[in-house]
Amino acid sequence: MDDYDDNERPSWREIDKRRDRSTHVSGPKKEKKEAGQDRWNTGRQREALDRLFLGEKGTPEHDKLHNNIHKTYGTNRFPGAVQKYLDRFGPPDDVSTLLLLLGSKDSGLILLAIDKLQNIGPTISQREREDARRKLSMLALTEKSEDVKERAAEIADELKAFK
């Protein structure tokens, strides 16, 4: 009936040993890394690398001055915060800050923000582009300065064409 004699047939333990799946076999145990901890470190390393490529705009000083612009919006300290930022880092690269600059009363600052929006227009998301276009359209209707009105209308049309 059986091809094996009782002496030849391997036991289940021997079969498991051959497969290296046995819990009875002690071998070098692999250390399990905590997945969350490893992912957290990877994220921190990626963030540090991104900040390195940003240059001066990746420093804590930049973050402080950038946040100060957002915190002081609508107060009498806003123009000073913007000027400090511009002196140190030049025009901001993010749309949210540029939209705040469009709300200032200084036409030179508004024109600077409009030019920056024109430069980054093709690279920003559709949502940001639409927000910028709406803000520029309102500016073209309500601004007192003719230069700002014309420039805002022109760039609003350009941003509309990127769809």
In percent, how much of the chain has pLDDT > 70?
A: 80
Tokens describing residue 24 = 């009875």
When pLDDT is averaged across residues 31-40 and rounded to a whole number, the result is: 64
Residue 40's pLDDT is 72
* In the chain, beta strands by DSSP E: none
**Position 27 confidence tier, pLDDT thresholds 50, 70, 90:** low
Give first-to-last CA distance, the chain, whole Å: 78
Mean pLDDT computed over 21-29? 57
Distance CA 41, CA 35 (A): 10
- Segment 142-159 shows an average pLDDT of 89
- Distance (Å, rounded) from C-alpha 101 to C-alpha 69? 9
pLDDT value at 158 more than 90: no
* Single pTM value for the model: 0.66
pLDDT digits (tens, 9 = 90+) for 79-122: 999 999 999 988 998 899 999 999 888 889 999 999 999 998 88
pLDDT at 5: 62
Q: Which long-range contacts (CB under 8 A, 24 or more apart) does 77-81 make?
A: 78/104, 79/104, 79/106, 79/109
Is pLDDT above 70 for 14? yes
86-95 long-range CB contacts below 8 Å, 24 or more apart? 86/112, 88/56, 88/61, 88/62, 89/56, 89/57, 89/62, 89/65, 91/115, 91/116, 92/66, 92/116, 93/57, 93/120, 95/120, 95/124, 95/128, 95/131, 95/132
More confident residue, 142 or 54: 142
